[in-house]
Amino acid sequence: MFGLKADWSHEVFERYFTIGDYAGGEARWCPGCGDHGILAAVHKLLRDEQAIPELTVAVSGIGCSSRLPHYMGTFGFHGLHGRALPVACGIKSRRPELDVWVATGDGDCFSIGTAHWIHAIRYNMDMTVLVFDNSIYGLTKAQSSPTSPLGMKTNTHPFGAILGPLNPLTVTLGISNVSFVAQVVDWSPPLVYETLKAAHRHRGLGFVRIIQRCPVFADAHGKEMLADPTRVLLLNHEHGIPIDKSVARQFPNHREHDPADLAGARDIAQDQSRIPVGLLYHNPDAPCYEDLSSRGGDMTPARKLAGLDSALDDFTI
Amino acid sequence: MGDKMQESKGYPPARTINECIVEIVSDSGEGAQKAGETFGAISARMGNGVWTVQIIPAEIQPPARSPAGASGIRIRLASKYVTNMGDEADLAVAFNEQVLYWRIANGAYKQGTVVLLEDKWRDDPVEEIRAQYAKAVAEFRAHGLIVHELPIERACLEITSNPQRGKNMFVLGMLCQIFSRDLDTARAQITKTFRRKGDKVIDLNRRLFDAGYGFARERIDICYAIPPQPGHGGRYIVTDGNQAIGLGVMAAGMELVSMYPITPATSASHYLAEVYHKVGGFVHQAEDEIAAIGFALGASYAGKTACTITSGPGLALKTEFLALAVMAEIPLVLVVVQRGGPSTGLPTKVEQGDLLASLYGEPGDAPKVVIAAATIEECLHFVIMARRLAETFRTPVVLLTDANLATGVQPYPRPEPCVEWLAPPIDQSEWDESVPPYAWDDVTGLSSRPIPGMRGGEYVLTGLAHTKQSKVAYDSDSNQRGCEMRSRKLAALAGTLKPPIVHGDAEGDLLVVGWGSTLGAIEEAIDRARADGHKVSSLHLRFLSPMEPGLKEIFLRFRKVMTVEINYSDDPQAPLITRETRRYAQLAWLLRAQTLIDVDCWSAVYGHPLQPGMIYRVLLKHLAALEGNN
């Protein structure tokens, strides 16, 4: 930090960014909302990675999660409900050098934006996707979301949610060309930070589902998860997320899992009795769509005109 | 046509005519369209004005010999510039008799249309087919068609064992003899048509062509010459309207087309997918219509103004993103190749039904630029204009074309692209931090936009009501101000437009106003009525939002103004329809609101392009009513 390197040499930065360079307006989420911690982790990570603010773009849909770009000092795109991913992919398609972050929620990503979630995983463009999953619609005031547990009382299901929840992990792990799937809980800040770092460093779509508390509309659900740390299953592996001692203490249930093992990841995801946290799957070699979609972006005007000339020749009589 | 020719030297001398409409109709997959396109290209190379249009069946593989399966092509060629498909055909070549029923039902033929009919069905082993054939030929003759039954397939069998696939070039040979086409030009065009298939295929098709040419010389006593149009010269290209859009995208320097398959728009993307890499571009096939525009908007936001191409149902799905583009002032080119609606409607047929949806389809006030191409050539040049407007005015631009332009094929001057047409490289210079992302000019509403990568330009784009800092507006004035500024841009653009040019005299009894692909048919009808001595003129709008200026002044110089459109309007004579209940054609609605003049309309949704004769009859009716009012 501040230019001091591990070998005690001092690097003089032409530009050095502090957390303030990544922060935007004051976050207006409710007090106690898990989103604050995620935002702090993003700011800290960008600072630690010295991401260039003008080359960083935070894209979101609509919902509590999707307010995130407003609290960033980078470029931001606060778009339409469910449609963060097509926009993010479009940005990346011809500007692959931009560092794209996506903030979305359980309603935004797993309900209205389902088609884009599935296809964005398949495109595997190099971006970091954070799903803020609090199992409830917050901004529109307490409707059931696709991940609301069976029986959870909401304004649309006042007698309790009548369908069991969708499992975003099994779905994501079932999509062709999936390359990075991790899950964390917002009440473990070191794990959130390390997971975001791994997702961000991964070349491809880093998908992180962040199970997160809504103290206003889903307080009981959050408390229930928090009350029993043994429900969380901490995934451990030398190629997984680096685990702090405090995190290892926080979650006593550990399991060794190689993130290269897709079948194993699917088995873990399938087990609804546990909340797995850590890196479920990682394939650093999955092809990225922008490698195809950005081709020719550096073509000179002269070559473009020559190409156009040859296209016109095909029609010339 | 159809005059009995005097015979000499074994085949008739060519009679000079000024224009002719030819159709080739078949079951689908028999190559009629390729033959017709090649015939059109040969004629264009010889200097004729040409318009070709495909006759498309509704299904991919309709059953053989079914009237609704009629597939084929119409070619109109003339000694003048041709702008539309014309009225009834003069000559038709048919590969079976059933498909002709469909064309007759569509009013494609008249008394005296010559039909060159494949006669193999007369001796078909199936009795039912023999009976159908005999009955049809009798009915066609009773209908006034001049039917020549010809053993086309039998003649092809002498050259190929698969006449089903070779017949089209044989028929091309026949047509080239009938219309005195230059043989070298024809053979060169065949070589070009099959250039990707190898020498063997080229050779076979040329032999079929030669055989057809000889066959017509021996067997058909019709021969015409259609001299080239005066002033013909320079280089021409022959494309359909969707290929023209593709060329326009490339000539505009846009690097991305993001699309989802939808008829009749998709062929523009098909074309681009083949050639776009030559100019460094990419076609993204998105997971749905919404994602297609979202992806394009992402690229546009990042500084690479993109294009998305769709048709009516796709436009409906894209409206939310379109409104975001308006609200957040993101340049975008949205091409809508209109088809028949509502709902799935008539996917392969023409309609001008999306004008109001383009202008007003979004929730709230979403002012944007809407332009409409009137010719195939304009499809190309308007894409270039659309990108420039989108970037200059920081707005989405909707470019309307339709199935008539998409499937029509026409020669037009080859464009001479230049660097100025291409999108400039993206600006990555430092942004003056004191300038807000929406530094609206008080008068014009215009502002320039920060692009990711510009140091100091960081801002958060939002679809929420926002201030000029792009901060979410919590005060009551900001929303009013934002709407005002976005609307003002259209007024600023309107100030740069010229009044439209009136076709015909600047004053008179009746002024017909049109937009889009009906230009050629309307002007042809107007010319015909003017030749009869009627005081009629026409005017064609290219800009629909904002509109070209001076309309009211022009309209006031005519006793009556009416639009002619391909969309639905109530017939004023229909039951329950009064001046209060009548629903007008879409442009008529707009013009009535714009000018406060009692603009009348005539429109229809039969799914086919308006033909000059049809419009001519409408004009006469309205002129007669005007006389009656005197």
B249 CA: distance to closest CA in chain A (Å): 10
- Nearest neighbour of B279 by CB, restricted to A57, A118, A304: A304
Domain map of chain B by residue range? 15-225, 237-418, 429-496, 508-629
- A95: closest chain B residue by CA: B302
pLDDT in tens, A148-178: 999 999 999 999 999 999 999 999 999 999 9
Size of interface A-B (CB pairs under 8 A): 204
Reference A232, options A212, A250, A213; nearest CA is A250
Q: Which amino acid is at B147?
A: V
Please report residues of A whose CB lies closer than 8 A to that of B472: 70
Half-sphere exposure of B410 (CA within 13 A, CB side): 28
Cis peptide before B425 (omega within 30 of 0): no
Question: Which of B288, B324, B458 lies nearest to residue A53, judging by beta carbons?
Answer: B458
CB contact under 8 A, B453 and A88: no
In chain B, residues 432-491 whose CB comes closer than 8 Å to chain A: 450, 452-464, 471-472
Please choose, from the candidates B114, B120, B92, the residue with its C-alpha nearest in 3D space to the C-alpha of residue B25: B92
Q: Which residues of chain B are within 8 Å of residue A87 when distances are taken between CB atoms?
A: 294-295, 297-298, 301
What is the domain count for chain A?
Answer: 1
Across the interface, which of B278, B290, B422 has its CB nearest the CB of A301?
A: B422
Q: Specify burial of residue B568 (Cβ count, 10 A radius: 0-12, 13-18, 19+).
A: middle
- The amino acid present at A71, given as its one-letter code, is Y
* Cα atoms found within 13 Å of the Cα of residue B349, Cβ hemisphere only: 19
Question: Tokens standing for A242?
Answer: 């680096």
CB-nearest partner of A80 from B324, B455, B472: B324
**Where do runs of H (alpha helix) occur along B549-611?**
551-555, 586-595
Predicted confidence at residue A254, as pLDDT, reads 97
Domains B237-418 and B508-629 share a fold: yes
- Distance (Å) of CA B94 to CA A289, B91, B105, B116: 48, 10, 15, 6
Could you list the residue range(s) of the whole structural domain that residue A265 is in?
Answer: 25-288
Contact A186, A176 (CB under 8 A): no
ipTM: 0.97
Give the strands of the sheet with B49-55, arranged side by side: B146-150, B109-118, B89-94, B19-26, B71-78, B49-55, B408-413, B236-240
B15-225: CATH superfamily = Pyruvate-ferredoxin oxidoreductase, PFOR, domain III (3.40.920.10)
Residue A66, pLDDT > 50, answer yes
Question: Residue B321: which residues within 8 A CB-CB, separation 6 or more?
Answer: A80, A83, B290, B293, B294, B297
Give residue B1's pLDDT: 40
Length of chain B counted residue by residue: 630
Contact between chains at A307 and B278 (C-beta distance less than 8 A): yes
Cα–Cα distance, B213 to B183 (Å, whole number)? 9
In a domain, A307, yes or no: no
Stated as kind and residue range, the H or E segment containing A19 is: helix A19-22
Q: Is B326 on the interface with A (CB under 8 A)?
A: no
Give the tokens for residue B9.
Answer: 């030297």
What are the structure tokens assigned to A263, written together?
């079948």
Q: Which residue has the tokens 């009348």?
A: B600
A119: chain B residues, CB-CB within 8 Å: 286-287, 291
Contacts made by residues B100-107, CB under 8 angstroms, sequence distance 24+: B100/B25, B100/B70, B100/B136, B100/B140, B101/B67, B101/B136, B102/B25, B102/B67, B102/B68, B102/B69, B102/B70, B103/B23, B103/B25, B103/B55, B103/B70, B104/B140, B104/B143, B105/B67, B106/B608
Of B235, B320, B417, the CB nearest to A316: B235
User: Would you tell me which residues 19-48 of chain B have a C-beta closer than 8 angstroms to some C-beta of chain A?
Assistant: 41, 44-45
pLDDT of the residue at B2: 38
CA atoms within 13 A on the CB side of B539: 29
Could you tell me the pTM of the whole model?
A: 0.95
CA nearest to B420 within chain A: A301
Yes or no, beta carbons of A312 and B247 under 8 Å apart: yes
Give which of B229, B279, B426 to mutate to test A binding, by max A Cβ within 10 Å: B279
B298, A92: Cβ pair inside 8 Å? yes
Distance in Å, alpha carbon of A309 to nearest chain B alpha carbon: 8
Tell me what the mean pLDDT of segment A272-298 comes to: 97
Calpha distance B123→B172 (Å, rounded): 25
A301 with B299: Cβ contact below 8 A: no
B239 Cα to chain A: minimum distance (Å): 7
- Asked if B237's CB is within 8 angstroms of A93's CB, the reply is no
The answer to whether residue A275 sits within a structural domain is: yes
Kindly state the tokens that stand for B195: 């250039």
* CA of A69 vs chain B CAs: smallest distance (Å): 6
For residue B455 the two structure tokens come to: 């140091």
Nearest residue to B443 (alpha-carbon basis) of B498, B397, B493, B388: B493
* pLDDT tens digits, B577-608: 999 999 999 999 999 999 999 999 999 999 98
**Residue in A91, A298, A314 closest to B302 by CB:** A91
Q: What is the token pair recorded at A11?
A: 């690097």
Give the C-alpha separation, B150 to B202, whole Å.
25
Q: Given an 8 Å threshold on Cβ–Cβ distance, is A308 in contact with B279?
A: yes
- Helix H, strand E, coil C: the string for A99-166 is EEEEEEEHHHHHHHCHHHHHHHHHHCCCEEEEEEECCEECCCCCEECCCCCCCCCCCCCCCCCCCCCC
DSSP type of residue B380? H
pLDDT digits (tens, 9 = 90+) for A88-124: 999 999 999 999 999 999 999 999 999 999 999 999 9
* Whole-number pLDDT of residue B234: 84
**Cβ within 8 Å, pair B282-A307:** no
Structure tokens, B421: 């047409």
User: Which residue among B280, B291, B459 sits closest to A304, beta carbon to beta carbon?
Assistant: B280
Answer yes or no: are the C-beta atoms of B338 and B352 closer than 8 Å: yes
Residues of B in contact with A85 (CB under 8 A): 291, 294
- What mean pLDDT comes out for the span A234-256? 96
Identify the pLDDT of residue B231.
78
Selected for mutation to probe chain A from B257, B458, B464 (highest A CB count within 10 Å) is B458
A28: exposed, middle or buried (Cβ count in 10 Å: 0-12, 13-18, 19+): exposed
Q: Which residues in chain B are closer than 8 Å to A304, comparing Cβ atoms?
A: 250, 253, 279-280, 422
Contacts of B299 in chain A (CB under 8 A): 90-91, 93-95
Residue of B277, B297, B457 lying closest to A296 (CB–CB): B277
Residue ranges for chain B with pLDDT beneath 50: 1-10
B245: helix, strand or coil: helix
What residue ranges in B416-515 does DSSP mark as E strands? 460-462, 508-515
Q: Which of B288, B295, B409 to mutate to test the interface with A (most CBs of A within 10 A)?
A: B295
Measured between its terminal Cα atoms, the distance across chain B in Å is 41
Distance from CA of A118 to the nearest CA of B (A): 9
Residue B607 forms contact with A (CB below 8 Å) = no
B453 closest CB neighbour out of A54, A70, A295 = A54
User: How many of the other CB atoms lie within 10 Å of CB of A154?
Assistant: 20
Cβ pair A293:B256 closer than 8 A: yes
Domain B237-418 has CATH 3.40.50.150: no
Test the B interface: residue of A117, A315, A316 with most B CBs within 10 Å: A315
Predicted local distance difference test score (pLDDT) of residue B26: 93
Mean pLDDT of A219-226: 94
Question: Would you call B238 an interface residue with chain A, using a CB distance cutoff of 8 Å?
Answer: yes
Q: How far is CA B323 from CA A85, A189, B388, B493, in A?
A: 18, 38, 20, 19
Query: Is B508-629 a CATH 3.40.50.300 domain?
Result: no
Chain B hits for A76, CB-CB cut-off 8 Å, are 458-462
Contact check, Cβ <8 Å, A75/B321: no
For residue B67, whether the previous peptide bond is cis, meaning omega lies within 30 degrees of 0, is no
* pLDDT score recorded for residue B12: 66
Alpha helix stretches (DSSP H) within B285-375: 289-301, 312-328, 355-360
Q: Which of B238, B282, B291 sits opposite A116 (nearest CB)?
A: B291
Give how far Cα B479 sits from Cα of B179, B197, B366, B445, B476, Å: 65, 61, 13, 14, 6
Q: Chain A residues with CB inside 8 Å of B456's CB?
A: 54
Residue B114's H or E segment, with its range, is strand B109-118
Mean pLDDT of chain B: 94
Q: What are the DSSP E strand ranges found in A24-123?
A: 56-60, 75-78, 99-105
Q: Which residue of chain B is at minimal alpha-carbon distance from A117?
A: B287
Look at residue B6 in the predicted model and tell me its pLDDT: 39
